[in-house]
Amino acid sequence: MICYHGSDTIVDAPKILESKRPLDFGDGFYVTTSKAQALLWAKKVAIRNNNNHKCLNTYSFDIENAKEKLIVIHFDKADEKWLDFVCANRNGKETGDYDIVIGPVADDKVYRVVVEYENGDIDKEYALKRLKTEALCDQILFHTQKALEYLTYIETEVIEL
């Protein structure tokens, strides 16, 4: 499987990083199979870091071997289990042992729904109803160093802003 990581730097040796803020699936290294999603993320990072270029890092992910040998959590859609998992991670709660998590990314529209639910402004049933209407890109989190062994760097395309 081909996947991408958007950044403002070349990432030819991915690392497990602890985030300064809570993320959907926890700490680690995130990629997506959507080139467009990775480019959007690269632009956001470049602007945030006041950089004049974005980088589209491309990798090969040996998903079949990873599924055989590692603990992989896979969410097919933004359902109740996904919502509970994302909210737990964003609130710093322990979500179990896993090496890789695959599932929908909470883009800006979805993020608003999750925040409204977390704040108690909407109930779970209504949040899930709104999530069903969204066409979501995927994200893959490599949560452990062992997981990164199944990700192989291919190339980086540097794009000037």
Tell me the pLDDT tens digit for each residue of 2-16.
999 999 999 999 999
Average pLDDT (26-42) is 95
Gap between the Cα atoms of 76 and 138, Å rounded: 9
Helix (H) or strand (E) holding 112: helix 108-118
CB 158 within 8 A of CB 55: yes
Q: What domain count does the chain have?
A: 1
- With a cut of 80, say whether residue 110 has pLDDT above it: no
- With a cut of 80, say whether residue 60 has pLDDT above it: yes
Average pLDDT (69-73) is 98
Can you give the residue range of the structural domain that contains 97?
Answer: 2-160
Query: What's the pLDDT at 126?
Result: 94
Model confidence band, residue 92 (pLDDT cutoffs 50, 70, 90): confident
Query: What's the pLDDT at 95?
Result: 83
Gap between the Cα atoms of 46 and 8, Å rounded: 5
Gap between the Cα atoms of 129 and 121, Å rounded: 14
